[in-house]
Chains A and B, each alone.
Chain A
């Protein structure tokens, strides 16, 4: 300990003797690290596994059932029709399954009917949604079945916003002028990235405020606000006929998720889809070539082309920038050590062993790491702020947790060591007499 303090003191003296070169080295190193960290942060949040305990068993299904006889169309639509969803539901193979789409509405409480209604984001879905994605309930529970009912599950923040408390099971709400009863309140929950709905590149958006039964959404003609595709639909536009029309035509807006707990189940489900398509084809439907997609939740961004290319491109460039900065810093640090070479040689002549000099170098590394880490975090914050303001879709991705900070600190230590290694070796192991003679 005493030796470390002594070494740290010597490091500090050598910095004080020539503060400018040291400051420049540190500046360059922390610029590179900061830029790299800001990008790595976004990249991490964008590409992490939000459900490590069950991501392997979650799959999104797509069928190539769009009407029309296009023989070279192998890319199934991103959203499916109610008819397809119904044919897939109840196969018994998945341990949970739910169809869903996102929408929006205006809500207020019954007590406060005169108030201006507030904008809320809706998710129309089925009872297994919460089970599929491990969504925790604070109060109440999910719907007993997938039938239409005027009952909603709301997020904790929504409860607090409308009722100023969380235990509001049994309370009523007006959503787009319709009266619903609250049957469940969720705990604080968000999925980042929001892999259950990445369509429209919305994987960095927050979770919805209110969950309503899918059948109710169809009954009330609530539509997806992400993607609605009509294929060969003949409709006069009358809202009264919408529920019937949307359930029996290719009005595609659904995403369908299943939980398959083992590889056998996955194979079984693929076979089930194959059979389903075969039956459809036999019945003269499903005119496009068979192209069933069963994408794991971790592949879904790629499959739906919802990755953020700008971030990917920037990742490439930020890594190169880090490389340049590291190269540059080791160049500067080599210069610095060579300027100190005489002192090093003198100390060795006075009897310092190579080990002792190495521990001096380690003390240098330690001190540089601490300073570089602090500066790099500062630059990373600046970087995140810049990226967030230039690419607003990345705003939700800018946080750090302790684990990330730990990894970053280790990374800084490693890089500082790398930057110091060659110069230190070069100075401490070159022939002694030659240096003293100079």
Chain B
């Protein structure tokens, strides 16, 4: 049937049509924004971290006895634990640190070049109090200068991540520069450090002792490829055997830490994806019942059309094209809804702007769903006998 005839018959059923269009419009708006959030969350999760996510295990531990949380007992315990961990087959390196990269919360400090505090100050730079295997565990590359060694233990020498060094010293050679946290002796490649630091790739590594472990400390283990599960299974027992008075958290692989950091984004995106699925389901039910009801109510009309020479294929096309047209019009309004919703959501959470192609893609998806849902009732309509036309009800 022609577009203007469908439009005419839609206009004669104003309320039903308005309800249908409203619903389609909101559905499109929601699905578009959900897809947008889902893709943003995926991008966040999939961003490069500079870390071999599947080869690093982390576990937070804390001595249950207060006396073991201060030196010299603390270092002694840590060394015992690390020695035991390094003996596990499949472990390539192990180190402690006050915090691990890619985790919610943590410790950071401001950092500036000693003579240029005002110009060079950076508010929040995560700092790592750790030991010599840290570079091996994280898998960082040396960019300039040297890495820290056992000899740097207890000194004020620090290693910076590349992006941080660039920010502080621009094109100058950072090696030998003096900062409020110590003298720079080297620069290593960037890794995802802390989400809410001034920059996520900023990090300053030193070999100063932790002084005390009131918040506990982290043990980080680099495992050979494919060995993470085998090592994970033994890790807790090995740590407990090394020192029983120890509160040991769940062992996390680095990618699990990452998922935890982006949990609320992933959670919301998943939630909205589920809701979008429900929306599409509702749209399909709606299209189905509308077409079904139509086929029943319009028996006579379909019969007349058949008598006047409309073939079954024609009737099928008629029912489908009405669905398509309403979906397209609804989706047209839906584009407004989708921008409106995008603006409203942006006031509450961070959500990217709507790219032009996304509503179109969603329209195609919607059309597909509607076609699928209309198919069966449309088939029923084609079964209406043309003889219906001659029956008087």
- Direct contact, A vs B (beta carbon within 8 Å): yes
Q: With A314-B268, A390-B271 as known contacts, state yes or no: A239 contacts B212, CB within 8 Å.
A: yes
Q: Judge whether A324 and B27 touch: CB under 8 Å.
A: yes
Q: Judge whether A316 and B27 touch: CB under 8 Å.
A: no
Binds B, one of A3-11, A92-100, A278-286, A333-341: A333-341
Report the separation of the CA atoms of residues A330 and B290 in the bound assembly, to the nearest whole angstrom.
Answer: 12
Q: How far is the CB of B360 from chain A (nearest CB, A)?
A: 21
Instruction: Give chain A residues whose Cβ lies under 8 Å from the Cβ of B266.
Output: 390
Interface flag for B349 (CB, 8 Å):
yes
Instruction: Give chain A residues whose Cβ lies under 8 Å from the Cβ of B341.
Output: 316-317, 320
Q: Judge whether A328 and B286 touch: CB under 8 Å.
A: yes
Most chain B beta-carbon contacts within 10 A, residue among A35, A177, A331, A426: A331
The contact of A35 among B70, B278, B345, by CB within 8 Å, is B278
A-contact 0/1 string along B334-350, CB 8 Å cutoff: 00000001001100110
A-B CB pair tally, cutoff 8 Å: 143
Instruction: Give chain B residues whose Cβ lies under 8 Å from the Cβ of A422.
Output: 15
Q: How far is the CB of A307 from chain B (nearest CB, A)?
A: 9
Q: How far is the CB of B374 from chain A (nearest CB, A)?
A: 14
Q: Judge whether B30 and A331 touch: CB under 8 Å.
A: no
Report the separation of the CA atoms of residues A438 and B298 in the bound assembly, to the nearest whole angstrom.
Answer: 12
Q: How far is the CB of B220 from chain A (nearest CB, A)?
A: 21
Q: Judge whether A28 and B285 touch: CB under 8 Å.
A: yes
Q: Judge whether B293 and A31 touch: CB under 8 Å.
A: no
Q: Judge whether B279 and A339 touch: CB under 8 Å.
A: no
Report the separation of the CA atoms of residues A324 and B297 in the bound assembly, to the nearest whole angstrom.
Answer: 24
Q: How far is the CB of A306 from chain B (nearest CB, A)?
A: 13
Q: Judge whether B23 and A324 touch: CB under 8 Å.
A: yes
Report the separation of the CA atoms of residues A200 and B196 in the bound assembly, to the nearest whole angstrom.
Answer: 12
Instruction: Give chain B residues whose Cβ lies under 8 Å from the Cβ of A223.
Output: 214-215
Interface flag for B267 (CB, 8 Å):
yes
Closest to B25 in A: A324
Instruction: Give chain B residues whose Cβ lies under 8 Å from the Cβ of A328.
Output: 19, 23, 282, 285-286
Interface flag for A332 (CB, 8 Å):
yes
Q: How far is the CB of B297 from chain A (nearest CB, A)?
A: 7
Q: Judge whether B30 and A21 touch: CB under 8 Å.
A: no
Q: Judge whether B64 and A116 touch: CB under 8 Å.
A: yes
Interface flag for B354 (CB, 8 Å):
no
Q: With A316-B348, A387-B271 as known contacts, state yes or no: A339 contacts B66, CB within 8 Å.
A: no
The contact of B247 among A119, A222, A317, A321, by CB within 8 Å, is A119
Interface flag for A106 (CB, 8 Å):
yes
Within 8 A of B (CB), among A295-340: 309-310, 312-314, 316-318, 320-321, 323-325, 327-328, 330-332, 334-335, 338-339
Closest to B289 in A: A332
A-contact 0/1 string along B204-224, CB 8 Å cutoff: 000000011011000000000
The contact of B349 among A200, A309, A332, by CB within 8 Å, is A309
Interface flag for A237 (CB, 8 Å):
yes
Instruction: Give chain B residues whose Cβ lies under 8 Å from the Cβ of A222.
Output: 214
Interface flag for A110 (CB, 8 Å):
no
A-contact 0/1 string along B381-393, CB 8 Å cutoff: 0000000000001
Instruction: Give chain A residues whose Cβ lies under 8 Å from the Cβ of B225.
Output: none
B-contact 0/1 string along A203-237, CB 8 Å cutoff: 00000000000000000011101000000000001
Instruction: Give chain A residues whose Cβ lies under 8 Å from the Cβ of B29.
Output: 320
Q: With A21-B289, A313-B348, A316-B345 as known contacts, state yes or no: A237 contacts B211, CB within 8 Å.
A: yes
Within 8 A of B (CB), among A345-400: 386-387, 390-393
Interface flag for B252 (CB, 8 Å):
no
Q: With A28-B282, A317-B275 as known contacts, state yes or no: A177 contacts B20, CB within 8 Å.
A: no
Interface flag for B22 (CB, 8 Å):
yes
Closest to B215 in A: A225
Q: Judge whether A339 and B285 touch: CB under 8 Å.
A: no
Q: Judge whether B289 and A334 touch: CB under 8 Å.
A: no
Interface flag for A27 (CB, 8 Å):
yes
Within 8 A of B (CB), among A105-119: 106, 116-117, 119
Report the separation of the CA atoms of residues A178 and B20 in the bound assembly, to the nearest whole angstrom.
Answer: 69
Report the separation of the CA atoms of residues A435 and B276 in the bound assembly, to the nearest whole angstrom.
Answer: 40
Q: Judge whether B20 and A391 touch: CB under 8 Å.
A: no
Interface flag for A176 (CB, 8 Å):
yes
Closest to B281 in A: A31
Interface flag for A24 (CB, 8 Å):
yes
A-B contact pairs, 7 of them (CB 8 A): A35-B275, A119-B247, A238-B211, A317-B341, A327-B22, A332-B285, A387-B271
